[in-house]
Structure 1
Amino acid sequence: MGAMAEKVYGFYMPTVSLLGLGAVKQVGQQAKVLGGTKALIVTDAGLARIGVADQIKGYLEEAGLSVTVFDGAEPNPTDLNVRDCLKVWQDNGCDLLVTLGGGSSHDCGKGMAIMATSGGDIRDWAGIDTLQADLPPYIAINTTAGTGSEMTRFAVVTNTDTKVKMVFCDARLTADVAVNDPGLMVGLPSSLTAATGMDALTHAVEAYVTTLLSNPVTDCLAMQAIRLIGKWLRKAVANGTDLEARDAMAYAEYLAGMAFNSAGLGIVHSMAHQPGSLLGKPHGVCNAICLPVVCEFNLIANAEKYAKVAELLGENIEGLTTMEAAEQAVAAIRRLSRDIGIPKGLAAIGVTEKDIPVMAENAMKDVCTLFNPRTVKVADIIELYKKAM
């Protein structure tokens, strides 16, 4: 028996994770455990308008905390947005962060907390393991079954000067408490359910096929996430009040987050980040459009795993060669996108051919490109963008 080469796997998780219908009612109790006295809820205007922020504020106040709400988290939050949030944190002497929403709220809150604890400007801290201090006590409450941001060590904030998304990856960015309550997702519009669901699928697929950091633990998580999304996403889009579908998607989203939090992502995300930062396009939709195109490109790098993706999505691969089965994964992803109403290409959401060169250059520099299973050049990314149009 030959000697094994050394290989150490990292695995990152929130200290406490609460999942299931009614989980959000424990927020006050968790805030007290963390020692919070003055909470800042970071959320978006929509969740504030429909009363969800007030609901969370009530739970925290019942536990004896004073609460301030910042409802200015923007889609694809920017460095300016994060600075505005920091001012509210400082002006109110807050000591507990609660982010409420999808990825944008979590990213805005994490970006604010970086500056509150590590100092300087948010731009100073982009990259991997750069932070100088722990975040304040932090509870992340998720309202979409997509981004995984409530439980990961990642944050993404747009630099308003360069129009590039800065990626932050640091274990210190992981929430102390992550909450996934499907009851908070019932009112989500079908288009947003579709986009966030495809975001979760992208996380699972990319984490599964990366060859650098994926490991037996992340593979198990990614496979179950893919299986659940293939079974339940259509139902969640078709009927947003289907609590069984919402619960399954909340679970799937969390598993996918666990997978990519440790295994990394790939060039689907590198490519999807660019229309988001440059043009303000929705992240989940950009991922959904780029996913089958990139999978097709990556097939030769990890055909065995793509064949398994096809099987997990419900395809009958009996009698097929490995590559034929892998190609069925691409077809299954395209069919799922079509069934739930994802736009047919980047052109349909306003991306133009003239945007491609700068997007490709920026995608090549994106940290996610490091983990793609197939080596890629700028010329490859340009061709992939053209196919995704």
Structure 2
Amino acid sequence: MQEFFEFRLLPRVLYKSGLVAEMGAELSSLGATKAFIVTDAGLVKSGLVEHVQQALAETVEVVGVYSDVPPNSSVTVVEAAAAQARESGADLLVALGGGSPIDTAKAMRILITEGGNLLDYEGINILERRLIPMVAIPTTAGTGSEASNFAVIKDEANNVKLSFTSPYLAPELAILDPQVTQSLPAHLAAATGMDTLTHAFETYVSTESEPMSDALALGAVEIVSNYLRDATHHGPTNEEARGQMLIASCMAGIAFTNAYLGAVHALAHATGGHFPLHHGLLNSIFLPHVVAFNASTVPDRYARLARAFGINTGGRPREEVIDDLIAGLRQLASDCGLITQLRDLGIPEDALPMLAEQAFGDGAIYHNPVAPTVDDLLGILQAAW
């Protein structure tokens, strides 16, 4: 066991079916009077934004809604939304949606509080004070952004994804309500669920892993292995499965905030920066290949993950267990209807060297249990292609 580790407890997390309708009373502790909602057009169309507005109105005034957040948010979107929120006089941001609206709201907080150029705050621990308060209501079970101190925003000018990291970026309150995930389409339930699984896997084998993040990561893996298939195929009628996946996503989010991620995310960030593809889907494709790459360095860790995943590990060679784990990851993705090869997403093979170079410079790579070379990353990309 490590002689020293630090574990951050981030937002207050509340879970209950139907909690969104009751959340107005929870806002009094934040001292806010004017709320600004950050979301996407699909959630407006679904009626969920109106539902949230009604709940907020019991306690605060809703002074604006920004609903043009795309699946992969950008610096331009953050700047436009922040300007609108600032003009409205908002003193509270409420992010409703998946990782993109939540990360957008996090980045907006920087501009609203600090002003200036968003790119000036890229990196680790640049911020020095508390930001405008924020509530996160995830409608997907994948990113864990409601519980993390990270925000990932695309720089469209350079086709790269930028990472912002600071304890001050974590929301003050996370609302987990399985009812708001009931309308999530099956393919998004699957992709976001594999994102949760990837967070847990990478956290557990990270060079920064520690006992408390380990426990959360293993718990999240067990939940995903038991509930993702039902949450994908029977989500609208299986509130338990959707609720369990929300819990797993939040657990994994807290875990990776403390222990960080690895090569899967570096590769997904690079690929997603150049091609408009779902982050969770890319993680799902890369995860088995990175497990195979890392396996000889941390076999005991992957064997423990295999046990949490439901693989029979008793008295068997670790290599055999890990082979079954890799096969199990591919089977889970396939069972949930996800594409499993990059070529089937329209990524040209001649783009792979460029993606390898870019992944090599991604911050997530530094916590991978094996320090990969650019050639190593190219080999993983070719195998995934």
Query: TM-score by structure 1 length?
Result: 0.96
Instruction: Note the residue ranges of structure 1 that are not aligned, 5 or more in a row.
Output: none
Q: Confirm or deny that 1:49 pairs with 2:45.
A: yes
> Counterparts of 1:325-344 in structure 2 under 5 Å?
325-344=321-340
Write out per-residue CA displacement over residues 79-131 of structure 1, whole angstroms, 9 at most, x where no aligned residue: 10111101111221111011000000011111111111122111111111011
Distance, in Å, in 2 between the alignment partners of 1:262 and 1:84 is: 31
Distance, in Å, in 2 between the alignment partners of 1:249 and 1:311 is: 19
Aligned length: 384
Distance, in Å, in 2 between the alignment partners of 1:298 and 1:128 is: 26
Distance, in Å, in 1 between the alignment partners of 2:128 and 2:72 is: 25
Distance, in Å, in 2 between the alignment partners of 1:144 and 1:209 is: 25
Aligned to 1:170: 166
> Counterparts of 1:61-100 in structure 2 under 5 Å?
61-100=57-96
Aligned to 2:239: 243
Tell me the CA shift for residue 11 of structure 1: 2.1
Change over 3 Å in CA distance of 1:38–1:337 after alignment to 2: same
Q: Confirm or deny that 1:275 pairs with 2:271.
A: yes
Distance, in Å, in 2 between the alignment partners of 1:148 and 1:125 is: 21
Change over 3 Å in CA distance of 1:5–1:72 after alignment to 2: closer
Aligned to 2:129: 133
SS in 1 for 2:190: helix
Aligned to 1:380: 376
Aligned to 1:30: 26
Tell me the CA shift for residue 27 of structure 1: 2.5
Aligned to 1:222: 217
Tell me the CA shift for residue 247 of structure 1: 1.3
Tell me the CA shift for residue 152 of structure 1: 0.4
Equivalent of residue 13 in structure 2, options 8, 11, 17: 17
Matched-pair contact (CA < 8 Å) for 1:111–1:155: yes
Write out per-residue CA displacement over residues 334-361 of structure 1, whole angstroms, 9 at most, x where no aligned residue: 1111111110211111211122122111
Distance, in Å, in 2 between the alignment partners of 1:372 and 1:12 is: 23
Write out per-residue CA displacement over residues 296-326 of structure 1, whole angstroms, 9 at most, x where no aligned residue: 0010111001111111111112231122212
Distance, in Å, in 1 between the alignment partners of 2:265 and 2:22 is: 33
SS in 1 for 2:246: helix
> Counterparts of 1:119-268 in structure 2 under 5 Å?
119-211=115-207, 213-240=208-235, 241-268=237-264
Distance, in Å, in 2 between the alignment partners of 1:323 and 1:66 is: 56
Q: Confirm or deny that 1:349 pairs with 2:345.
A: yes
Instruction: Note the residue ranges of structure 2 that are not aligned, 5 or more in a row.
Output: none
Matched-pair contact (CA < 8 Å) for 1:270–1:363: yes
Tell me the CA shift for residue 230 of structure 1: 0.4
Matched-pair contact (CA < 8 Å) for 2:63–2:88: no
Distance, in Å, in 2 between the alignment partners of 1:114 and 1:179 is: 22
Tell me the CA shift for residue 12 of structure 1: 3.5
Q: Confirm or deny that 1:289 pairs with 2:285.
A: yes
Distance, in Å, in 1 between the alignment partners of 2:113 and 2:93 is: 12
Q: What one-letter code is carried by the residue in structure 2 that aligns with 1:7?
A: F
Tell me the CA shift for residue 252 of structure 1: 1.0
Matched-pair contact (CA < 8 Å) for 1:236–1:242: yes
SS in 2 for 1:134: coil
SS in 2 for 1:300: coil
Identity of aligned residues (%): 39
Which range is displaced more, 59-68 or 111-120? 59-68
Distance, in Å, in 2 between the alignment partners of 1:66 and 1:139 is: 13
Write out per-residue CA displacement over residues 36-72 of structure 1, whole angstroms, 9 at most, x where no aligned residue: 1111100001001111111111111122423311101
Equivalent of residue 315 in structure 1, options 273, 297, 311: 311
Q: Confirm or deny that 1:7 pairs with 2:11.
A: no
SS in 2 for 1:286: helix
Distance, in Å, in 2 between the alignment partners of 1:183 and 1:365 is: 39
Distance, in Å, in 1 between the alignment partners of 2:290 and 2:346 is: 20
Which range is displaced more, 309-318 or 178-187? 309-318
Matched-pair contact (CA < 8 Å) for 1:43–1:105: yes
Tell me the CA shift for residue 6 of structure 1: 4.3
Which portions of structure 1, spanning 4 or more consecutive aligned residues, are displaced by more than 4 angstroms? none
Matched-pair contact (CA < 8 Å) for 1:12–1:152: no
Distance, in Å, in 2 between the alignment partners of 1:239 and 1:146 is: 17
SS in 2 for 1:62: coil
Tell me the CA shift for residue 30 of structure 1: 2.2
SS in 2 for 1:108: helix
Query: TM-score by structure 2 length?
Result: 0.97
Matched-pair contact (CA < 8 Å) for 1:101–1:141: yes
